[in-house]
A and B are shown apart, each in its own frame.
Chain A
Amino acid sequence: MRCGLCVRDCPYDTLKLAELGDNVATGTPYFEARKVPCEMCDDIPCVVACPTGALDRGLTDIEDARMGLAVLIDHETCLNYLGLRCDVCYRVCPVIDRAITLERFHNPRSDRHALFLPTVHSEHCTGCGKCEQACVLPDAAAIKVLPIALAQGSRAEHYLRGWEEREAAGGSLIGEQIELPVRGMEDQPYGDTRLRPDAPPAPAGLDSGWKP
C-alpha cells in the first residue's frame, strides 16, 4: 500500500520509498545495492512490519529471500577476469561459497596463471547486494543485482544434461558406444582423454568444488 512501514523498521536505512520520477513504481519500497545493500537481518523486520503481505510473512529464513539475483555483468572490467585476485565480491557474500564461488580456469593470456572467476549460483543468491556495494571499481560495479526475470534465462525443459541423467539412471541412457582407439592414449581406459590421468578429476559444470 506504499505506507513505508518496512522503510521505518529497516535498521540500516536500506529501504526507501520510490518518488515519482524514480525508476521504480512510485511509492513502492526499494534499495540501491551499490549505496546501501540489504544486511539480511535474521528477524527480517521489514517483513514483520508489512501490514498487507506485499512482503510475504512466509519468509522466515532470510537466506530464502530472493530480492534479485547478482550477475557478474561486466567481464571486461572485473579484476578477477583480468587475472587479478580481487575476490572482494566473493569475500563479502553472506552466503559465501554457495551463492558466489570462485571457479578456476586457465589464463590463456599469460598461459601460466589461473583465472578465479566469481560465479553466482541462483540457487543460493538472495540478491542482498553486498557484492555490488563492495565491488572495488570506482563508479558502477562489475557485479550487479538485477531483477530475477532480467537476470535469468529460462531452462529448456526438454534439454537433458547427459551427466545428470547418467548419474540419476546409474548409467548412460543411450547404451555404450563403439570404442575407437585414440592415438597416444592407448594405455588409458576408453573415454579417458586426460593428458595427466593421475590428477584428480574435476566434476562437470562450473562448480569445480575448489576452495581457497
Chain B
Amino acid sequence: MHPVRKQRLLLVLALVVASSTIIGLSVYAMRHYADFFYPVSKIVSGEAPLHKSIRAGGCVVPGTIVSASDRLHTEFVITDGIERVKVVYDGLLPDIFGEGEAAVITGKLNDERVLVATQVLAKHDENYVPPEVASSMSPVERHNEACKGMNYGS
C-alpha cells in the first residue's frame, strides 16, 4: 500500500478507536442511568427513592393477582426471585399481563414500600411459539423467559 494511504488508514483507525473509546467509556459510566427500571431487589434494599416516580421490573408472582369486582383496581406482587414488592394499580392492564409474566411498572413507593402504579407495561420475552406448541407445554415452560425456573418461595 502507498505510504500516504497507509497513513490515512491509520488516521481513520485512530479516529474510530478514539471515538469508540470515548463514547464507550461514557456509556459505561452512565450504565445505571441507562437502565429502564429497577429490579425488585434494589427497591427492597432501599436503592430506589420513596415518593418519587420510578419504574420497577419483575415477574408477577402466580396467585397474587387480586382484582376488585366493583372498580378498576388490581393488586399483585412482583419478584426478581430474591425479593418481593407489592403493587396496587387503578388502570387497564395490557393483554399479555399475567401470572408468571414479566411486567414493568411505573409508580411511586409509599411509606409501606408498596408501589402505587400509574402505568403497568407487559414485557414480552424472546420466545416466539405457535399456539399449538404452547398448549403442549407445561405451565412453567409457558412463562416468560425471564421468569423461568424462578423460585416463588411457595
Q: Do A and B belong to a common assembly?
A: no
B residues contacting A by CB (< 8 A) are: none
A residues contacting B by CB (< 8 A) are: none
